[in-house]
Structure 1
Amino acid sequence: MSALTERLANLVGDVLLGTAQVTGVRSLPGGLVLVELTAGAFRKATWTPGWKLRIRARRGTMALRTYTPINADIERGTVELIGFVHAGGPGAQWFQQAAIGDTCEIFGPHRSMDLTSVAGRALFVGDETSLGLACALHRLTGDATYLIEAQDPAGLSEALSEVGIDAPVTVLAKDADHTDLVRRAADRVAGHSYTLVVTGDAATVHTLRRASRNWSPAPERVLGKAYWAAGRTGLD
């Protein structure tokens, strides 16, 4: 990238982006890091569970990385984000290097998935990149079942406990054809009305959307969003 392009990106970023300070960092099992950000603007923002916050992980570009806050404290002006450091890319590097006292550039919060629309029973399916959304849903309802794929199932199970998700959770090793995931998901919704919430890998979102049409019963509603896909970045 040329020096002129980097300079223009920084000039635009200085106009559009706000600033937050890192006020907490905690490593979690399973290659996850929890970061607390503090900003005066957070006290004035509208926070809806499931909405997104973007971080510019690297100056000199306008490539933003998107995260779902697991918690927002309006009085203190803080939000908590979880990043998967083994994902690769600038977002993962930012979480790896985050230290208390650092500043970062932010954009948002903005509309994404509105979890307040989830009524009644829910089935949540995702992976390590979905953990922020899983935490946000858990704060809203105790009537949800979670199926989460992971590169390190044992580590992610520990991380879920540390962030306070004590609902029924099954953590599965990543499965290229999703056969086990689809079967287990169908078993958990048999005979119940429910909302399906599926995020993370684009292949998982596509597979579960398609498979759920044949479940009995089919979901009353599907909330789906792909966060990443093999060979691609920046889906959101």
Structure 2
Amino acid sequence: MTTLTGRLADLASGALLGTAQITGVSRLSAGFVRVKLTAEAFQKAAWAPGVKLQLRPQRGRMALRTYTPVDWDATRGAVDLIGFTHAGGPGAEWFRRAAVGDACQVFGPRRSIALRDLAGAVLFVGDESSVALACALQSVTSNASYVFEARDPAGLSQLLAGLGIAERVAVVTKAADRTDLLRQAREVAAVGPCALVVTGDAATVHAVRRDSRNWAPAPVQVKGKAYWAEGRAGLD
């Protein structure tokens, strides 16, 4: 990117994006960081569990990266984000370098996956990039079962337990054929009618949605969103 293009990106971001300050950083595990952002604008923003907040991780570029707030404290104007630092790209690097006192540019909140309109039992399927949304779902319902795929199942299971997601959780090893993931999801769905929420790897989202067409009983509601895809950057 040329110097001129970078300067233009910085000027545009200053006009279009808001500013927040990092007021807390917690290293949850070897691969996950929780960051608290504070801004006066957050006190006035309309928020609901499942909305997205976008941040600009690099100067000289206008590219944004999208995250789901774990919670939203309108009184203090503070939000918590969880980032998977073992993922590639500028977003993961931003979380690795995050330090209290740093400023960052943000856009949102904006509508993404509406969780409050879910009714009855919920089956949540995701991966490391879906952890924050799973936390947000907890604020909506306690009647949820979780199936995750992960490159380090033991590590993700430990992280989820620390975040209060310890019951009705299955974490399987990520595999190209997704056999274990789909089997676990079918077993949960077979117990009774449920809404399906699936996020994470685009290929997994597609596979789960396609497989769910043959579930008995069928999902009463399906919400799906791809957060990343192999070989692509900035999917959302």
Aligning the two structures, in what range does the TM-score lie when normalised by the shorter sequence?
over 0.9
Matched, 1:201 2:187: no
Give runs of ≥4 in structure 1 deviating > 4 Å. none
CA drift at 1:57: 0.2
For structure 1, list consecutive stretches of 5 or more residues without a partner in the other structure: none
Partner of 2:113: 113
1:209 and 1:73 map into 2 onto residues whose CA distance is 33
Partner of 1:61: 61
Measured at CA, do residues 130 and 226 of structure 1 come closer, stay the same or move farther in structure 2, by a change above 3 Å?
same
1:66 and 1:100 map into 2 onto residues whose CA distance is 20
8 Å CA contact 1:30, 1:159 repeated in 2: no
Partner of 1:50: 50
TM-score, normalised by the number of residues in structure 1: 0.98
CA drift at 1:30: 5.1
RMSD across aligned positions (CA): 0.9
CA drift at 1:166: 3.4
Question: What are the equivalent positions in structure 2 for 1:54-93 lying under 5 Å apart?
Answer: 54-93=54-93
Mean alpha-carbon deviation: is it higher for 80-89 or for 184-193? 184-193
CA drift at 1:52: 0.1
1:136 and 1:12 map into 2 onto residues whose CA distance is 31
Question: What are the equivalent positions in structure 2 for 1:34-49 lying under 5 Å apart?
Answer: 34-49=34-49
Amino acid aligned to 2:183: R
Deviations 1:153-206 (A, max 9, x none): 111111112222233111111111111111110011114111000000001100
For structure 2, list consecutive stretches of 5 or more residues without a partner in the other structure: none
TM-score, normalised by the number of residues in structure 2: 0.98
1:214 and 1:48 map into 2 onto residues whose CA distance is 32
Matched, 1:155 2:155: yes
Identical counterparts, % of pairs: 60
Q: Secondary structure at the match of 1:140?
A: coil
2:166 and 2:183 map into 1 onto residues whose CA distance is 23
1:155 and 1:22 map into 2 onto residues whose CA distance is 26
Question: What are the equivalent positions in structure 2 for 1:165-184 lying under 5 Å apart?
Answer: 165-184=165-184
1:207 and 1:218 map into 2 onto residues whose CA distance is 15
1:20 and 1:5 map into 2 onto residues whose CA distance is 24
Deviations 1:66-117 (A, max 9, x none): 0000111110110000000010100000000000111100000001111011
